[in-house]
Amino acid sequence: MDGGGGGLRRIGPFLIEKDLVAPPIRVLLVSAAALALAFLTAALVFWAYGVDPVLAYRTIFVETLLSSGGFAEGVRRAIPLLLAGVGLVLAFRAQFWNIGAEGQLLLGAVAAAGVALFAPLPAALLLPAMFLAGFVAGGLWAVLPALLKLRLGVNDVLTTLMLNYVAVYLVEWLIHGPWRGRTAFGFAYSDRFPEPAMLPLIPGTYVHWPTLLLALAGALAAWFVLTHTTWGYPVRVTGDNPEAARYAHMPVFRVVFAVALASGGFAGLAGVGEVAGVHGRLLEAYQISLGYGYTAIIVAWLARGNPLGAMLTALFMGLIFASGDVMKISLQMPFRVTDVFNGLILFFLISSERLLYYRVRWAPVRKGD
């Protein structure tokens, strides 16, 4: 430390100091810089693939942000991302490392399909029952690794992740086997859902607005619980310092259990929305979800623990998915391109985190110092 001000390092007239409380403007600036670097690096990958990066970005910009159809596609992708992302915000706040939103989403889709195809319910009750079943199925798929973590100390990252693969094969088994549609000659999908099991769309788009409203309400509810109720406090303490939480007789077990149920349940709801809003049947896992559960991790991370922030970050990542579509159609690039975006964005985001705790101050050296 050089004398006074907690200065760490001097670069020309600038002083770089440690500052542990990051104001929102700095969070925004650092995040924007990280995103810009991710896009620059992605440009290199495009160039290596043989696509002019300038053309690529112009195409993306014009066909997603400036076209109403493209923007609506982004919104439609943002729906599952927001639901799963809000769940992950809750999970990560309590240090339950749920990497399994993808599998929980698929379980939600399976449960919804089961109700839609086989439950003898009156038409009006069909959709509510599907959402309920989806929430429970997704929630249970997350509760299993949470219990293993709480009771045996099994690494939650690996178990939640492994269950993603199990969920994929469960879906495959159902559509190739017992739930294979009578009309699906040679194709692997279930029968079409009856009309009352389908969600209404905003005309001319694939935006299933009831799920969108549900996702927005979910984000608000999660924010309210975290910041304005007595339940949010134990969640935050459990995440920041589990030992302290235990010492203060906070119900760590119940907190992690509830957070796991909620986060898996939210992902399950996302799965219901995809099959009841977009596809109308159970089909291959990679068609139900384009990796929404994995991208939701970025949504949650980018939102920095704030469920309301997830509204913005889900839309952003939704637009990235929409640009994947655009690049596939207009530039004949494989859809894998979204993985490149996702990986780079996540990389630069977490790498930039250290920078949040430094501030740069204009402090020219005076003569005589």
Residues near another protein, by CB under 8 A: 45, 48-49, 97, 99, 145, 148, 152-155, 157-159, 161-163, 165-166, 168-170, 172-173, 176-177, 294, 297, 301, 333-334, 336-344, 346-347, 350-351, 353-354
Taking the complex as a whole, the smallest distance from the CB of residue 162 to another protein amounts, in Å, to 4
Taking the complex as a whole, the smallest distance from the CB of residue 324 to another protein amounts, in Å, to 10
Angle separating helix axes 292-302 and 337-352, nearest 10 degrees: 30
Contact partners, residue 103, CB within 8 Å, separation at least 6: 141, 160, 163, 164, 165, 166, 167, 168, 293
Taking the complex as a whole, the smallest distance from the CB of residue 51 to another protein amounts, in Å, to 10
- Give the nearer residue to another protein in terms of CB position, either 51 or 276: 51
Contact by Cβ (8 Å): 97, 157? yes
**Residue 2: alpha-carbon gap to chain centroid:** 43
CB atoms within 10 A of CB 139: 25
Both tokens assigned to 79: 């729906």
- Give the nearer residue to another protein in terms of CB position, either 140 or 148: 148
Taking the complex as a whole, the smallest distance from the CB of residue 223 to another protein amounts, in Å, to 22
**Distance linking the first and last C-alpha atoms of the chain:** 16
- Give the nearer residue to another protein in terms of CB position, either 354 or 367: 354
d(CA 348, CA 329): 28
| 332 phi-psi bin (left φ>0, alpha ψ -120 to 50, beta other) | left
Phi and psi at 217, nearest 5°, equal: -65, -40
Taking the complex as a whole, the smallest distance from the CB of residue 333 to another protein amounts, in Å, to 7
- Give the nearer residue to another protein in terms of CB position, either 46 or 71: 46
Count of helices and strands (H, E) across the chain: 14, 3
d(CA 318, CA 205): 15
- Give the nearer residue to another protein in terms of CB position, either 129 or 170: 170
Burial (Cβ within 10 Å: 0-12, 13-18, ≥19) of residue 280:
buried
Q: Which of 131, 139, 112, 280 is nearest to 217 (CA)?
A: 131
Taking the complex as a whole, the smallest distance from the CB of residue 308 to another protein amounts, in Å, to 21
Contact partners, residue 127, CB within 8 Å, separation at least 6: 196, 197, 199, 210, 276
| Residue carrying the six token digits 């991370």 | 301
- Give the nearer residue to another protein in terms of CB position, either 42 or 270: 42
- Give the nearer residue to another protein in terms of CB position, either 168 or 235: 168
Question: Would you state the torsion angle of the CA atoms of residues 86, 88, 89, 90, taken in this order, to the nearest 10 degrees?
Answer: 100
DSSP bridge pairs for 18:
358
- Give the nearer residue to another protein in terms of CB position, either 127 or 298: 298
Taking the complex as a whole, the smallest distance from the CB of residue 253 to another protein amounts, in Å, to 17
Taking the complex as a whole, the smallest distance from the CB of residue 264 to another protein amounts, in Å, to 15
Taking the complex as a whole, the smallest distance from the CB of residue 24 to another protein amounts, in Å, to 21
- Give the nearer residue to another protein in terms of CB position, either 51 or 270: 51
